[in-house]
Amino acid sequence: MSCLIEVDHLSFQYADGHQALKDICLHVKHGDRVGLVGPNGAGKTTFFLTLAGVIDNFTGALQVAQCDLTTPEGRKAVHRKLGIVFQTSDDQLFNASVLEDIAFGPLNMDMDKDEAHRRVNQAMESVGLSMDFKSRLPFHLSGGEKRRVAIAGVLAMNPQVLLLDEPSSDLDPRGRRELIEILNSLEMTRIISTHDLEFVLETCTRVILFDEGRLITDGPAQEVLSNQELMLKHGLEVPRSLI
């Protein structure tokens, strides 16, 4: 199957000198369900921001859905192909109503209003939000509802790749279970960055482990997460269900 994401010797250093990503090489194919794990400060979020075209001064080669992210045109075009759900939903829901928020992406893609409405309805349906939510205000929603709206806002843009940064944080068990069901019902390629390794086991087939900006290992989820020595060495624990 063809590659959707091609990362070749990717490195990035913040302005304060902190080297967040060091010589990362990896490929993600269409339909892959990847879990990105690692301790705090491993470079997971920076990697996501680089894939999303937000960070531009990296070195190496990076292609996402045929967009060359080393060029400004590529970084601009990638927004139509890749969707990112941020850790804090409040940061992502910046419009005054749920409808306006989900429609934000489609309207930026210059869709006409009828098509944008259709996309909004479709996205709300796929995350199990009833149409009554359209007029709701984002700041009146619960944590789980906010997360669903944030995902719907990204799905409405019909991306080829979905990136989720700590999607299960701040969710109660029911919200977490519902999110797992939503994610498993989606067909698209996705990368989930999280500390919740049980969540990774339930939603991903492949795991990439980052530590101190380096790619440590890349393999089948069960195999990587059950390696106790590897997990402990990089500040993680084997999920209880694998012990």
Partner 1 sequence: MKAEIEHYARQDSPIHRWDARWKLASLIIIIFTMAAVRRTDVALASLIISATLVILCRLPLSLIMRRLGTLHIFLVPCFIILPFTASGNPVSIGPITISIDGTIFALTLYLRALAIVLASIALLYSTSMSLLLRAAERLYAPRVLIQVTLLTYRYIFTLANELTSMRWALATRGFHSQMNWRTYHTLANMVGMTLVRSLERTDRIYRAMQCRGYNGSMKTLHQFATRPSDYLICAACIITAVLLLLADTCMVG
- The residues of the shown chain that bind partner 1, judged by CB under 8 A, are 49, 52-54, 79-80, 82-84, 86, 88, 90-97, 99-100, 103-105, 107-109, 113, 116-117, 120, 135, 137-140, 153-154, 157
Residue (140 or 174) nearer to partner 1, CB: 140
Q: How far is the CB of 94 from partner 1 (least distance, A)?
A: 5
Residue (88 or 122) nearer to partner 1, CB: 88
Q: Which two tokens stand for residue 197?
A: 């390794």
Q: How far is the CB of 30 from partner 1 (least distance, A)?
A: 21
Strand order in the sheet with 161-165: 82-85, 161-165, 189-193, 33-37, 206-211, 214-220
Residue (161 or 221) nearer to partner 1, CB: 161
Residue (49 or 204) nearer to partner 1, CB: 49
Centre a 10 Å sphere on the Cβ of residue 27 and count the other Cβ atoms it contains.
Answer: 14
**How far is 143 from 177, CA to CA, in rounded Å?**
13
Given a contact cutoff of 8 angstroms between Cβ atoms, the answer to whether 184 and 72 are in contact is: no
Q: How far is the CB of 149 from partner 1 (least distance, A)?
A: 13
Q: How far is the CB of 213 from partner 1 (least distance, A)?
A: 19
Q: How far is the CB of 224 from partner 1 (least distance, A)?
A: 28
Residue (66 or 205) nearer to partner 1, CB: 66
Centre a 10 Å sphere on the Cβ of residue 40 and count the other Cβ atoms it contains.
Answer: 8
Distance set, CA 218 to CA 15, 37, 132, 223 (Å): 29, 10, 42, 10
